[in-house]
Amino acid sequence: MNAKELFLKTNPRRLFFIAALPGAVNMLASALYGFFDGIFVGHLIGDTAFAAINLAFPFVILNYARSDLIAVGSAVPISIALGKKEDHEANVIFTCAVLMILFTGALMGVFLYTASPLLIGLLGAEGELAALAVSYVRVYAIFSPLTTMTFAVDNYLRISGKIRFSMVLNIALSLSTVLLEFLLLFVGKLGIRGAALASCLSMVAMVAVAFVPILSKRLQLKFTRPKFTPALVKQIVFCGSPAFLANISGRITSIAMNAALLASGGAEAVAIWGILMYVGETIQPIVYGICDSLSPAIGYNWGAGLYHRVKAITRYTYSASAIVSFSAALLMFFAPGLLTSLFTKNTDPVFLAEATLALRIYSFSRLTQWFAFATQNYMTAVDKPLFATVISLASSLIFPISFILLLSPLGLSGLWLNPTLTAALTAILAFILLKHFQKTLPNEKPSVE
């Protein structure tokens, strides 16, 4: 079954199990790598290294945000073009996007390697904490052009209908990274550099394997002569801006939060925030995998004018996202001690009590965050980037930065409240925008050939 038959003709329920479940497994495998990464670093290197990674990682993700801008921004018009049977146009967009990711990745790598001491220093980090954070960023900077292609090729494989192949690659990526990181940390004693190197080497290998069917022209998407135009670049940037702004705004917020945490509670507060992020980033990718895996199907059907299918597919993304998120909230609220012990050897009662409080407060954010994220993803897939951008900026920058300023006088408890209040307000905003958009849906096209 080719991609068009899969996305345009398969029953929405069957399509969910074919596309979304492998997508969720993909991201779960990636999330589990992050989960074990936190465990390895916390137990094999120590709490200072754990805090250093949480200081450094926002800068690493800023680089990936640039890649996501191009990958997501090209995936939307590619899917819509294929839905309209404009295959050559889709291949031109694909080719240009890959070249843009490689070129900008090289530039960002040079910048991050050179500027990392200044960037880490601006957070207020000093001594060993700062040195470890800089080392971590620089390893990722060296591998930037290729590693940032990882999630892009994953998008392109799924657009081409190679969902299972994509799933296998992502599982292999996570397993190889966990194994390699254990060897580099436990056997090789490479410290924080080993943690970054394991991830980078595995991603380079994954990209190389992913390009084999693309270069051999066995996929629907193929390389062709690139044709860069201002309109094409504008379209990619415009369509990718919601995901990009979510990533970059979220990292700016993380940097501001880390600075506030250092000022209020020092490295231990940053370590607790790191635990929240590791737990949250184990759950959120599953929701992302569900929504993102069905985006090509939504784009295909939107381009074909089959709006009843768009609605049906979207209902599955909302339902599955809610189930995953509610389950995560229960786990965080009722097992905070277990989760904390996975990432740290610190047995100080004051530290553990603060971590427990933070996790229980954070658990309530899972009850509403899924709705805003699923709505943002839906708006992106149907080529409504303005609505998606508004949700993205609200959830990742405007609300959280506002709450950092408003709640910082309350100390650490105020900072722990930030994600929950942000998620609730963003969900309300997303609901209002969704209702407005639903009133403007065009008429159904009579048929698709």
Among 195, 207, 209, which Cα is nearest to 148's? 207
- Can you read off the two tokens belonging to residue 146? 């290729």
User: 181 and 37 in contact (C-beta within 8 Å)?
Assistant: yes
For every residue of 374-435, DSSP letters joined together read HHHHHHHHTT-HHHHHHHHHIIIIIHHHHHHHHHGGGTHHHHHHHHHHHHHHHHHHHHHHHH
Other beta carbons within 10 Å of 20? 23
Task: Identify the pLDDT of residue 213.
Answer: 86
User: Which among 311, 318, 283 has a CA at the least distance from the CA of 297?
Assistant: 311
Q: How many helices (H) and strands (E) does the chain have?
A: 18, 0
- Structural contact between residues 56 and 318, judged by C-beta atoms closer than 8 angstroms: no
Cβ atoms of 310 and 298 within 8 Å: the answer is yes
Parse the chain into domains and list their residue ranges.
Answer: 3-438
Report the distance separating Cα 434 and Cα 441, nearest Å. 11
What tokens does 145 get? 């052009």
Predicted local confidence at residue 393, as pLDDT:
87
Contact 300, 7 (CB under 8 A): yes
Question: What confidence score (pLDDT) does residue 295 get?
Answer: 82
Q: Going residue by residue through the chain (449 aa), what tens digit of pLDDT does each one get?
A: 566 677 778 888 888 888 777 777 767 776 777 777 778 888 888 888 888 888 888 888 888 888 888 888 888 788 878 877 888 888 899 999 999 999 999 999 999 999 999 989 888 888 888 999 999 999 999 999 888 888 788 878 877 778 788 878 888 888 888 899 989 988 888 888 998 999 899 999 999 998 888 888 777 788 888 888 888 888 888 878 777 777 777 778 888 888 898 888 888 888 899 889 888 877 887 888 888 778 878 888 887 888 888 888 999 999 999 999 999 999 999 999 999 988 888 888 999 999 999 999 999 999 999 999 999 989 988 878 788 889 988 998 899 999 999 998 888 999 999 999 999 999 999 999 999 888 776 666 544 44
Helices 366-381 and 307-334: angle between axes, nearest 10 degrees: 160
